């Protein structure tokens, strides 16, 4: 009967319950929980199992550039990075409020690592996250246009609760790519959050976007409702994993 129950749990894809119940069966009978405690324990085990499964799936699908964690962030004074600010962002409330994070600083100062750490944290708390390097994003736009999947691709981005746009400002953008980026921010306005990493200070984003009308529209959707992090200090690339 116990084996039949285990098999039923597995067939119903209750992996957490099955593993926990199997562990309980291996205990001496006098250590088995009573009925009410057993039910509560099995439900808790299944909830934890599903939460971890969802988290691991989100981390895998996010395609984050670095396997980064907030616990490994360097808060040295020279970096101009306050632990209090990052701690407030760790609970993901900014995502619930559809707020953005703009991370700027010189090359190698840790922008990408910090963004990936925030992205990893978002996955841990159950927020669907996607990472894009701007160069790769332009390639994906071109490919989606060619094979006719652009709308599907845009809808995928729209559904993500958090997207990370890295290396913003490094290469010139064509008019068509600018329009796609505008569409992305239009779709996500007050519905999702975006983390942008750039070597350019925010004040230089408007001239970088070249087309004044499109630049106004894009920046109006991302800058006002944002948290700004301006990293400073020397490059961390040598002898450090906190890259950017």
Residue with tokens 């890259």: 243
pLDDT in tens, 162-195: 999 999 999 899 999 999 999 999 999 999 999 9
Angle between helices 111-124 and 83-90 (to 10 degrees): 30
In this predicted structure, the answer to whether residue 25 has a pLDDT above a threshold of 50 is yes
What dihedral do alpha carbons 113, 117, 119, 125 form, nearest 10°? 180
pLDDT at residue 64, as a whole number: 96
The alpha carbons of the chain give a radius of gyration, in whole angstroms, of: 22
Q: Mean per-residue pLDDT for 105-117?
A: 94
pLDDT at residue 233, as a whole number: 79
pLDDT at residue 204, as a whole number: 96
Distances (CA, A) of 214 to 50, 174, 183, 218: 42, 12, 10, 6
In this predicted structure, the answer to whether residue 33 has a pLDDT above a threshold of 50 is yes
pLDDT in tens, 77-108: 899 999 999 999 999 999 999 999 999 999 98
Our separate counts of H helices and E strands in the chain read: 11, 5
Nearest residue to 214 via CA among 162, 188, 175 = 175
Which tops the pLDDT comparison, 28 or 119? 119
- Contact of 229 with 104, CB cutoff 8 Å: yes
pTM greater than 0.85 (yes/no): no
- Contact of 161 with 95, CB cutoff 8 Å: yes
Q: Mean per-residue pLDDT for 66-85?
A: 93
Domains annotated for the chain, with CATH where assigned, are 2-60 (no CATH), 63-230 (3.40.50.300)
The pair of three-digit structure tokens given for residue 15, joined into one six-digit string: 């992996």
- Contact of 46 with 54, CB cutoff 8 Å: no
């Amino acid at each position: 009967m116990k084996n039949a129950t285990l098999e039923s749990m597995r067939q119903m894809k209750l992996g957490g319950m099955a593993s926990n119940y199997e562990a309980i069966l291996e205990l001496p009978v006098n250590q088995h929980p009573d009925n009410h405690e057993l039910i509560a324990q099995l439900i808790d085990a299944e909830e934890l199992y599903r939460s971890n499964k969802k988290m691991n799936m989100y981390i895998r699908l996010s395609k984050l550039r670095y396997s980064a964690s907030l616990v490994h962030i360097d808060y040295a004074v020279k970096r101009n990075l306050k632990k209090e600010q990052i701690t407030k962002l760790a609970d993901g409330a900014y995502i619930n409020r559809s707020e953005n994070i703009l991370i700027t600083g010189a090359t190698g100062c840790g922008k990408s690592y910090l963004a990936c750490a925030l992205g990893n944290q978002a996955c841990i708390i159950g927020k669907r996250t996607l990472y894009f390097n701007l160069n790769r994003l332009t390639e994906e736009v071109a490919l989606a246009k060619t094979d006719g999947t652009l709308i599907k691709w845009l809808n995928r981005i729209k559904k993500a609760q958090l997207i990370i746009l890295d290396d913003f400002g490094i290469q010139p953008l064509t008019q068509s790519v600018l329009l796609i980026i505008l569409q992305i921010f239009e779709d996500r306005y007050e519905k999702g959050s975006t983390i942008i990493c750039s070597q350019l200070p925010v004040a230089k984003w408007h001239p970088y976007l070249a087309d004044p009308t499109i630049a106004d529209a894009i920046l109006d959707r991302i800058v006002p409702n944002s948290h700004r992090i301006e990293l400073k200090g020397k490059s961390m690339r040598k002898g450090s994993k906190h890259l950017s």
